[in-house]
Amino acid sequence: ALGLTGVMAYSIYDLRHPEEQYEPDPSKKTLVVLGTGWGSVSLLKKLDTENYNVVVVSPRNYFLFTPLLPSCTTGLIEHRSIMEPIRNVLRQKKATVKFYEAEATKIDYEKRVVLISDDSEIKGDISHTEVPFDMLVIGVGAENATFGIQGVREHSCFLKEVTDAQNIRKRIMDCVETAMFKDQTPDEVKRLLHMVVVGGGPTGVEFAGELQDFFNDDLKKWIPEIQDNFHVTLVEALPNVLPMFSKQLIDYTESTFKEEEITIRTKTMVKKVTDKYIEAEVTNPDGSKSLETIPYGLLVWATGNAVRPVVRDLMSQLPAQANSRRGLAVNEYLVVNGTENIWAVGDCAITNYAPTAQVAGQEGAFLARLFNTMAKTDAIEKELQTLSNEQSLAKTDEDRNRVFDEIRERQKQLRRTKQIGPFQYSHQGSLAYIGKERAVADISWLSGNIASGGTLTYLFWRSAYLSMCFSSRNRVLVAVDWIKARLFGRDVSR
Ligand code: NAD
């Protein structure tokens, strides 16, 4: 069996495209792709790279399977299991793609260049330069929204990147170990073991569920002294959590949280954050408002997305974006309004759909189809030009007829390829883990919707996420992590 696995692994490895020297072809357009998230990577996966000089710029040299990131905060899943090196993705393309690990700091629309900066710890002689483009795809995502609330950036943890999950994991164990420090006062123990999550969207809900699981399955068995004081609270400004799910699933989530002993504080808007407590404005049942101070040990801030500075700067260069606030306004082909050679995908683009991984993935795949078609159209148009020259030089009727037939065939092909319609999102459904081996799902089925919650939905959630993992390697690693945690518990070392 080991031999067979070895042969299979070698064949997969051998299938990869050998790295060649990247030589831009002056006869082809340069397509620059910013970002290595859901939108950009799904574009790169399906793009016929031989049609363009493709350059990818991203500060992250890997794709991150974000739906499972909350599981990394408790060590249920190791972060490397949900990362896929971008160079591995690019190696499998037919034509070589250039990758720069750098942050795009400015897009100069007039000059058609992207300014990039190497933000790694080790700097070479050159750490700032520019990359020219003929076509540009912006898939840089969004940053964490803080709404300018005082103290958020300094004192809370976010949940967007691998480093965020690692910080949270460290912080949880720090709080627990510090609470166990000799002679700690009871109030301080209570504060340190109070885990507060702000934002009742799917990110906040999934994290709260995972954290309570960690406590129930492992922490309270390993460190029983924390049993009476460890507590998770979810704070949400609106009257309920998970607003994108149906009423029935919202109720199910709220009742499951009650069973799990997670407190939900709705109609509670955080106004200020200090290193030890948050200040929130609470709307009381009679409609009056009061201010409350809530002490915390760990604070996770999950209040959604805000526009990145590089995107805001591009918007300021384009008069057509003057009325757009939440990101780049795009047309139905995802072309950034006010430009003709820039496209935007994922959380940095404003469409009629919620900023989810599913939407970004479909947008990336749509652009790949569009660009492949554009290249095909260009090639057919060139052939038509040559054929019409041939036709005018043809000496015999027979030659003229043959060329005429070929022209007709090419024209038919051209009409077929040009038939690509605008981007249309097909919603497969929404899924969220809510803890205690339960999940909620709103699945689109035929022309209706199926809402379900519970343990079966959780098994569906697990199999759906496993099948959505980027590669077989990721799939195996995630499955092994789940088995490991079931057999030995999560690793509680910091
Ligand atoms: P979100 O925008 O969905 O939710 C943020 C929540 O924070 C809102 O309900 C808002 O009312 C609340 N909030 C904002 N400011 C607050 C304050 N000061 N005090 C208290 N509450 C405050 O954010 P998200 O959960 O990070 O999700 C972002 C996007 O990603 C969404 O489109 C979401 O659907 C998607 N997503 C989906 C999944 C999934 O399908 N499983 C998982 C994660 C994210």
Provide residues with CB under 6 Å of ligand 1. 67, 149, 198-204, 235-238, 243-244, 269-270, 302-305, 354-356, 430-432
Which of 303, 358, 460 most suits a substitution to test ligand 1, by most atoms within 8 Å of the C-beta?
A: 303
| Percent of the chain at pLDDT exceeding 90 | 81
Specify the residue with its C-alpha closest to ligand 1, atom 41: 432
Atom of ligand 1 nearest to the CA of 304: 23
Lowest mean pLDDT among 24-38, 85-99, 394-408: 394-408
Q: Please give the average per-residue pLDDT across 13-28, as a whole number.
A: 68
pLDDT (tens digit per residue) in 446-460:
667 788 899 999 999
Mean pLDDT, the chain, integer = 93
Residue-wise burial string across 52-72, b where 16 or more C-beta atoms lie within 10 A, e elsewhere: bbbbbbbbbebbbbbbbbbbb
Check pLDDT > 80 for residue 445.
no
Q: Ligand 1 centre and the CA of 314: distance in Å?
A: 25
Which of 205, 234, 236 most suits a substitution to test ligand 1, by most atoms within 8 Å of the C-beta?
A: 236
Q: Ligand 1 centre and the CA of 341: distance in Å?
A: 32
Place 392 in a pLDDT band, splitting at 50, 70 and 90: confident
Q: Ligand 1 centre and the CA of 203: distance in Å?
A: 6
Lowest mean pLDDT among 153-157, 295-299, 447-451, 475-479: 447-451
Specify the residue with its C-alpha closest to ligand 1, atom 27: 304
Atom of ligand 1 nearest to the CA of 238: 11
Task: Report the largest interatomic distance among the alpha carbons of the chain, rounded to a whole angstrom.
Answer: 104
> ipTM beyond 0.95?
yes
Whether this prediction's pTM lies above 0.90 is answered by yes
Q: Please give the average per-residue pLDDT across 303-313, as a whole number.
A: 98
Specify the residue with its C-alpha closest to ligand 1, atom 30: 356
Q: Ligand 1 centre and the CA of 57: distance in Å?
A: 28
pLDDT (tens digit per residue) in 319-341:
999 999 999 999 999 999 999 99
Predicted local distance difference test score (pLDDT) of residue 12: 54
pLDDT (tens digit per residue) in 250-279:
999 999 999 999 999 999 999 999 999 999
Predicted local distance difference test score (pLDDT) of residue 417: 74
Specify the residue with its C-alpha closest to ligand 1, atom 2: 304
Q: Which residue do the tokens 């993935």 mark?
A: 361
Check pLDDT > 80 for residue 435.
yes
Q: Ligand 1 centre and the CA of 270: distance in Å?
A: 14
Q: Ligand 1 centre and the CA of 398: distance in Å?
A: 68
Q: Ligand 1 centre and the CA of 250: distance in Å?
A: 14
Q: Ligand 1 centre and the CA of 440: distance in Å?
A: 16
Which range among 230-239, 371-380, 412-421 has the greatest average pLDDT?
A: 230-239
